[in-house]
């Protein structure tokens, strides 16, 4: 694994969840940089480096809420996983939804993992730390597509 920081894109419209995720990842064993966008349209603009995101890096991991303004998480997921340049990037769905149809649809759209956000604060941080432990410390993440 490279010794540079791992770039993570968090797609989340809830400011409280953004803050908690940021805090949990700040203490991570692996250096990482968290980029945050608040809706589905911004997420795809970031990933395609459009408009204000022209100079941005392609993230190595995406944390995706399902319930998002402007474009839903399921739509964002479908577009990422249908894109030859983006589909290699692991997408962890991080949502409050426990609905079986959301779970199945996400996996069928090739979500890499589906994680339910706990309502309780300590548990929320513990879940983010577990995502960090597995995805940043154990998994081999794909290298960026050569331009």
Name the site residues for other proteins (rule: CB under 8 A): 81, 87-90, 98, 100, 103-104, 107-108, 110, 112-116, 127, 130-131, 133-135, 137-143
Report the nearest approach of other proteins to the CB of residue 138 (Å). Answer: 5
Report the nearest approach of other proteins to the CB of residue 46 (Å). Answer: 19
Q: Give the start-end residues of each E strand in 6-100.
A: 6-11, 32-37, 61-64, 91-95
Report the nearest approach of other proteins to the CB of residue 81 (Å). Answer: 7
Strand partners, 32: 6
Alpha-carbon separation of residue 105 from 102, 109, 111 (angstroms): 5, 6, 9
Q: What 3-state class would DSSP assign to 1?
A: coil
Report the nearest approach of other proteins to the CB of residue 41 (Å). Answer: 25
Tell me the CA end-to-end span of the chain in Å, nearest whole number. 21
């Amino acid at each position: 694994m490279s010794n540079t920081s791992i770039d993570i894109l968090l797609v989340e419209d809830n400011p409280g969840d953004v803050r908690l995720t940021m805090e949990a990842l700040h203490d991570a064993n692996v250096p990482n940089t968290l980029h945050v966008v608040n809706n589905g349209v911004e997420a795809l603009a970031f990933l395609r480096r459009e408009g204000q995101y022209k100079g941005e890096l392609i993230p190595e991991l995406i944390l995706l809420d399902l319930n998002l303004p402007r474009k839903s998480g399921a739509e964002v997921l479908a577009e990422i996983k249908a894109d030859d340049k983006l589909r290699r990037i692991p997408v962890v769905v991080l949502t409050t939804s426990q609905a079986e149809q959301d779970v199945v649809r996400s996996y069928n759209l090739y979500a890499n993992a589906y994680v339910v956000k706990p309502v309780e604060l300590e548990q929320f941080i513990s879940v983010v730390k577990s995502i960090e432990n597995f995805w940043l410390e154990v998994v081999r993440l794909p290298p960026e597509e050569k331009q």
